[in-house]
Amino acid sequence: MVRKRTFEVVIEKDPDGYFIADVPELKGCHTQARDLNTLQKRIKEAIELCLMDEKETVSPNEFFGVQIVTV
């Protein structure tokens, strides 16, 4: 039986309207799509590929929050 893992995904929207998903816990694990449904499918595929290539155990970071800084 395969153990399921849970990952936090950061989603942003770029100026061209694309949604960009990034999994901070997995180095280089990101994708983009025009809509959120497609993004959901693509990020799952990207995570699966990253896990297949995973050479070492990654210790998860705890999501702390987002802060807005004005300079």
Looking at residue 55, its pLDDT comes to 64
C-beta separation of 39 from 31 below 8 A: yes
| Chain center to CA of 42 | 10
Q: Which of the 8 DSSP states describes residue 17?
A: S
CATH architecture assignment, domain 1-71: 2-Layer Sandwich (3.30)
Rounded to 5, what percent of the chain is helix, strand, coil?
25, 15, 60
Looking at residue 53, its pLDDT comes to 79
What does the pLDDT average to over 9-27? Answer: 94
pLDDT digits (tens, 9 = 90+) for 32-70: 999 999 999 999 999 999 988 766 556 667 777 888 888
Domain-wise residue ranges, the chain: 1-71
This prediction's pTM: 0.78
